[in-house]
Amino acid sequence: MKQLLMPPVIAHRGASGQAPENTLAAIRLAAAQGAKWFEVDVNISRDGIPVLHHDDDLARCSNGRGLVIEKTLEQLQTLDCGSWFDQQYSGERVATLDQCLDLAIELQLAVNLEIKPCSGWEIPTTQAIADVLKQRPALPEILISSFSHIALQCSAELLDFIPRGSLFMVAPPDWKKLTNEAGAVSINLHANSLLDAGSVKQFHNAGLGVYCYTVNTTAQQQELHAIGVDGVFSNYPKLLLEALPI
Ligand code: G3P
Ligand code: MG
């Protein structure tokens, strides 16, 4: 098996159970809770700047309305991305990818960048992310992942020096072909997918690390560890880190 990249616990969207997801505050909290890796979702603004946001739409995680891709960065930066979660985070701004990477370096964290393009925007989104990564003087350790096979293939071309992980809800029948084409080092699956020790072994035999999202209880963490899963994404990294070693 290729060298495993990520540790047993990865903070999902930052420590998103206790701070607004995909914000700098959630990344800071993940570090404070002892996480060494965090995952964030990356989309682009209308003017092509990569920003952290999970949904296409702004409504759930900000006081904005409409789509991320419809707004310029300047417009996005006027939004409050914290009050929806808790008043203590009011005024939290949308984070750019650049800010996220600066913070990762400052906090000595590694980053799983999940490319989260709007449908049809897979290539421009990946290109914009590649531009940011290539222009920076320094990068933290990074794994790029995506549900979009197009984004992964584009990333393999533009950012061949950064490892990739293939994301699925459930591994499809042609997972071997797809992970191969993506040059993936890991397969990242929903925690309730059809995983058992046999399938985990097959993925390992294919040279893939196996990671599951989103795991928020130590019971599920232990079940997945018992069948050989290498690590889990959690909104509560502190809880799961405290349960280690399993
Ligand atoms: O990368 C793991 C996980 O974040 C994938 O699902 O919807 O939380 O981005 P989602
Ligand atoms: Mg994600």
Testing ligand 1's pocket by substitution, the residue of 9, 10, 41, 54 carrying the most ligand atoms inside 8 A of its CB is 41
Atom of ligand 1 nearest to the CA of 12: 4
pLDDT score recorded for residue 2 = 45
**Amino acid, res. 189:** L
Mean pLDDT value across the chain? 97
- The answer to whether residue 232 sits within a structural domain is yes
Report d(CA 103, CA 106) in Å as an integer: 5
Coil/strand/helix, residue 142: strand
pLDDT tens digit sequence for 13-34:
999 999 999 999 999 999 999 9
- The answer to whether residue 137 sits within a structural domain is yes
- Whether 217 has a pLDDT exceeding 70, the answer reads yes
Testing ligand 1's pocket by substitution, the residue of 10, 12, 111, 189 carrying the most ligand atoms inside 8 A of its CB is 12
Structurally, the chain folds into a number of domains equal to: 1
In this structure, the dihedral spanned by the alpha carbons of residues 91, 97, 102 and 108, taken in order and rounded to 10 degrees, is 100
User: Residues for the chain: how many in total?
Assistant: 246
pLDDT tens digit sequence for 102-119:
999 999 999 999 999 999
Q: Which residue range forms the structural domain that includes residue 112? A: 16-40+97-242
Atom of ligand 1 nearest to the CA of 211: 2
- The answer to whether residue 106 sits within a structural domain is yes
Across the strands, what pairs with 181? none
In this structure, how many other beta carbons lie within 10 angstroms of the beta carbon of residue 124? 15
Q: What CATH number corresponds to the domain at position 143?
A: 3.20.20.190
